[in-house]
Amino acid sequence: MAGVAAFGLLATACATPTVVETRQASDRNLNCEQLLAAIEETNQYEQAARDDRRVNGTNVAAAVFFWPALVGTYMNTEDAIEAAEDRREYLNDLYEERNCN
């Protein structure tokens, strides 16, 4: 019974960073200031995903007790980082397209 509880705790404790949508329906309606805010928000999502990859108590416990959870965390953070990079590129293109410089 304790093993099942530990497994459940580890499975729910794994990092699940936000994977942002590259393009959102309202993006084309954003003004220059709003685009900058969206870019900053995207940077924060990426940083949070990168932080989830670092050595921390949860990741160490996952590696020791249930290594597939660590693999899942790594894969999820990779998806989140790539999505944030793609979104930032898209938003930067919109920013330049609008001559916001």
Q: Domain-by-domain residue ranges, the chain? A: 2-97
pLDDT band at 10 (very low <50, low <70, confident <90, very high): very low
Each residue of 70-101: pLDDT tens digit? 556 667 888 899 999 999 999 999 999 999 98
pLDDT at 60 over 60: no
Question: pLDDT higher for 29 or 79?
Answer: 29
Q: What is the pLDDT of residue 36?
A: 98
Q: What is the pLDDT of residue 18?
A: 86
pTM: 0.69
Of residues 53, 54, 46, the one with CA closest to residue 82: 46
CA geometry: angle 25, 30, 34, nearest 5 deg: 125
The count of other CB atoms within 10 Å of the CB of residue 91 is 24
